[in-house]
Structure 1
Amino acid sequence: MSRSDTGLRVADFISPSISALISVIVNYAGTFVLVFQAAQLAQLSAAQTASWVWSVSIGVGVTGAWLSYRYREPIVTAWSTPGVAFLATVMPFTPYGEVIGAYVMCAIGFIVLGVCGAFERLVRLIPGGISAGLLAGILLQFGVATFGGVSVEPLLVITLLVTYAVLRRFTSRYAMLGVLLVGMLLLVGEERIDLQSLHLQLAVPVFEMPQFSIAALLGVALPLFVITLTGQYIPGMLVLRNDGFKTSANPIITATGFGSLIMAPFGAHAFNVAAITAAICTGKDTHQDPSKRYIAGLVCGGLYVTVGIFGVTLATLFMILPRPFITAVAGLALLGAIGTSLSNAMADTRTRETALITFLATAANVTLLGVGGAFWG
């Protein structure tokens, strides 16, 4: 892709910025509650929890923006969601200093993996049809959840669906912007969002001295490494490949590893290339010209940094949004990615049956030996 920024117009920023905003909203509103649950189970103080929010938000914002700018591709980074779910089970029984030490060891592991180049070779071994089937299986649950929300919030979800259908017919480029605006206006009109109670407060990072132990290495760092690699990095790289982006996995895993290492003493666990929320930013709906989709990565980075600056106060705002609203917006934003990945999976007759099996196994989302459905797919 060209590294030239010439020819960029104001209109080129609109769709990528919308995709970025949706991606960030879905990431915070959909999964960030796990961070607060893990912090509560570990009995972290309010200051330590705010520092965790600050460090992961700033960390993924800076790494994603830098990678997107450096390689002119929408390389969106995120925190390890399956990693947080795992941490909630071990943090209550592990001294916090040793947890921080485990974060450091895990980050070093990713840096080593990126420098040696082994991960890129692994990604290249996966055929295109198989990777497309894997991605379709991962994203399917979001498409299904869009319509499942009708039974919980019929007025809200049906309004969003009708808005999307109408706008898609007449102005597909701004369909998701219309969905967001209509949904937010409906929620405000029903007085389900109270912005008057929002008081922004700057986050203050809290440094925690890492402590190292064999128990934390084997019980926290190693599982976190494996879960993040299989549950986030592999599908995340396949998202980029599925939409035609070719940046090597090596600099991505190295950069996020260094970001994790720097932010670990402030409470941040593993950073990684995003998968589900990245798919919102990598497809044609973000921009018809693939060389301009990197703008979405830059905007994502800026939004994450903004949330991180205000820590818990701004992150909490996203989490008060009703879940049916989030699932509907995410599912509609991912329709293009789901369709493209299914089409690519079935395109090659030689791998069609294997791709179908991969799709079904991944969509079943069976967790076995602590590893999620994406790996087994």
Structure 2
Amino acid sequence: MTSSPSTLDRASGGLLQPVSTGLLAALVGFASTFAIILQGLRAVGASPEQSASGLFIICVMQGVLAIVFGLWWRQPISIVWSTPGAALLIATGAVSGGFPAAIGAFLVAVGLIVVAGLWRPFGRLVSAIPVGLASAMLAGILYEICLAPIHAVALRPALTLPVVLAWALALRFARLYAIPIALLTTVAIVLFVTKVPPGALGDVWPHPVFVMPAWSPVTIGTLSIPLFIVTMASQNVPGLAVLRANGYEPKIAPLFVGTGLGGAVTAALGGPPINLAAITAALCAGPDAHPDPARRYIATIVAGIAYLALGLFAGVTTAFIEVSPKELIAAVAGLALLGSFASALSTALTNPEERIAVAVTFLVTASGVAFFGIGAPFWGLVAGGLLLGLNRIGR
């Protein structure tokens, strides 16, 4: 007679469920979005070696912080990279001063996260940014990226249609695995259809590369401030909401300070900021991780250990992206961000009184225009905020 999962779980001391959930959260999180991280780093000027270093260090740092926070507070606190933040890097593209200036912008963004944790008035000010406007800015950032699968099908249908069809079928029958299945389809196409240079995937070990930061006022306006707002609005705030919805009350200041300081370390080796998980947090903090809320932190510790192991594959995954057709990788990235795009649009349009300001924020951000060298996401938020403030005068 075969034992049920609950029987097996009890026999293993209640560890099977949180261990399997933690492994699932890490594997799905990595497979679904690592291509977006690499594409974002390359967009702002990172070399392949710097991109591999960045992917390696954020895997390591988010793994370390998940383990430390889990053991310290006995709460399922999931730490991940910011997928919307990486999308912002893709949308921003090359910045004045190159990759060193982008690293400087990362450091400013994580510095603002630390300040938000330590200085309550600043944290309240950030929280006062209307959710609708922040969501509209995110939707505007994601808009062009989410068009990539359509453009890719038009340009190279033989390569990209199988990926899109695999994603659509998986979305219907195995939603959680839709992007990993699309990625596996992409891997198969690259290995069996395109010519991979001999030895291109041979160096599997990561090589950390230190990047000396540079600071540019223009890059801070273009990248730091939007990156900070996107990270807070789309990752940290929803991540806290998921924890609270499941009965946990984490201390906010240590979380923001910890992820901010961890982000400073990742920036030194080419990695973007890290933050609280929003989507995978629901896996580890909910009943799927364990019936007993006091045992769910084990899932985040296991996820942290898994991310430490996955970091070792940063070199080979970066090499794979480099030899893959660019349209194919862009298509996978666009498919991976469709859920975030739909969620951002839905949240942005919740309040009917804000919809015109939300539309302005979205359109200015999606336009890609820049003034005084500062990119569209910043101006989208400014334009929408000014219009919203004007409409509220005298009310």
Same fold flag (TM > 0.5): yes
Q: Which moved more, 1:294-303 or 1:64-73?
A: 294-303
**Alpha-carbon spacing, 1:333–1:115, altered in 2? closer, same or farther (3 Å):** same
1:19 pairs, out of 4, 22, 29, with 29
Deviation, 1:180, is 1.7
Deviation, 1:269, is 5.5
Q: Determine if the alignment matches structure 1 residue 32 to structure 2 residue 32.
A: no
Q: Determine if the alignment matches structure 1 residue 272 to structure 2 residue 251.
A: no
Q: Report what 1:230 is aligned to.
A: 225
Deviation, 1:200, is 1.8
Contact 1:63–1:255, Cα closer than 8 Å, also in 2 = no
- Distance in 1 between the 2:210 and 2:189 partners? 42
Deviation, 1:225, is 4.7
Contact 1:283–1:337, Cα closer than 8 Å, also in 2 = no
Q: Report what 2:160 is aligned to.
A: 157
Structure 2 unmatched runs, 5+: 1-13, 70-74, 244-249, 290-298, 381-395
User: For residue 86 of structure 1, what is the amino acid of its counterpart?
Assistant: V
Structure 1 unmatched runs, 5+: 40-48, 211-215
Q: Report what 1:122 is aligned to.
A: 125
Contact 1:59–1:263, Cα closer than 8 Å, also in 2 = yes
SS of the residue corresponding to residue 58 of structure 2 reads: helix
- TM-score, with length taken from structure 1: 0.70
2:20 pairs, out of 10, 13, 24, with 10
Contact 1:135–1:235, Cα closer than 8 Å, also in 2 = yes
Q: Determine if the alignment matches structure 1 residue 174 to structure 2 residue 189.
A: no
Task: Map 1:1-377; keep pairs closer than 5 Å.
Answer: 7-8=17-18, 10=20, 13-14=23-24, 17-28=27-38, 30-34=39-43, 37=45, 52=50, 56-69=54-67, 70=69, 72-77=76-81, 81=89, 85-86=94-95, 88-89=97-98, 111=114, 114-117=117-120, 119-194=122-197, 196-200=199-203, 202=205, 220=215, 225-240=220-235, 241=237, 244-245=241-242, 251=254, 253-259=256-262, 261-262=264-265, 268=269, 271-273=272-274, 281=279, 289=286, 298=304, 301-302=307-308, 305-307=311-313, 310=315, 315-377=318-380
User: For residue 269 of structure 2, what is the amino acid of its counterpart?
Assistant: A
Deviation, 1:235, is 0.7
- Distance in 1 between the 2:210 and 2:179 partners? 40
Deviation, 1:38, is 5.7
- Distance in 2 between the 1:106 and 1:175 partners? 31
Percent identity over the alignment is 23
Q: Which runs of at least 4 in structure 1 moved beyond 6 Å after TM superposition?
A: 99-110, 246-249
- Distance in 1 between the 2:345 and 2:105 partners? 38
- Distance in 1 between the 2:224 and 2:359 partners? 23
- Distance in 2 between the 1:206 and 1:180 partners? 27
**Alpha-carbon spacing, 1:105–1:364, altered in 2? closer, same or farther (3 Å):** closer
- Distance in 2 between the 1:344 and 1:57 partners? 30
Contact 2:109–2:228, Cα closer than 8 Å, also in 1 = no
SS of the residue corresponding to residue 164 of structure 2 reads: helix
Deviation, 1:304, is 6.3
SS of the residue corresponding to residue 273 of structure 2 reads: strand
User: For residue 302 of structure 1, what is the amino acid of its counterpart?
Assistant: L
Contact 2:58–2:271, Cα closer than 8 Å, also in 1 = no
Q: Deviations over 1:7-62 (max 9, x none)?
A: 4263664365223222112211x133357x566xxxxxxxxx95x55763444233
Q: Deviations over 1:154-180 (max 9, x none)?
A: 112211222222222223233223222
- Distance in 2 between the 1:119 and 1:147 partners? 41
Deviation, 1:125, is 0.6
**Alpha-carbon spacing, 1:223–1:357, altered in 2? closer, same or farther (3 Å):** closer
- Distance in 2 between the 1:290 and 1:87 partners? 47
Q: Deviations over 1:314-352 (max 9, x none)?
A: 533322222222222122222222222222222222322
Of structures 1 and 2, the one with the larger relative CO (CA 8 A, separation 6+) is: 1
SS of the residue corresponding to residue 202 of structure 2 reads: coil
Q: Which moved more, 1:124-133 or 1:224-233?
A: 224-233
Q: CA RMSD in A?
A: 4.4
Q: Report what 1:213 is aligned to.
A: none
**Alpha-carbon spacing, 1:315–1:138, altered in 2? closer, same or farther (3 Å):** same
**Alpha-carbon spacing, 1:282–1:137, altered in 2? closer, same or farther (3 Å):** farther
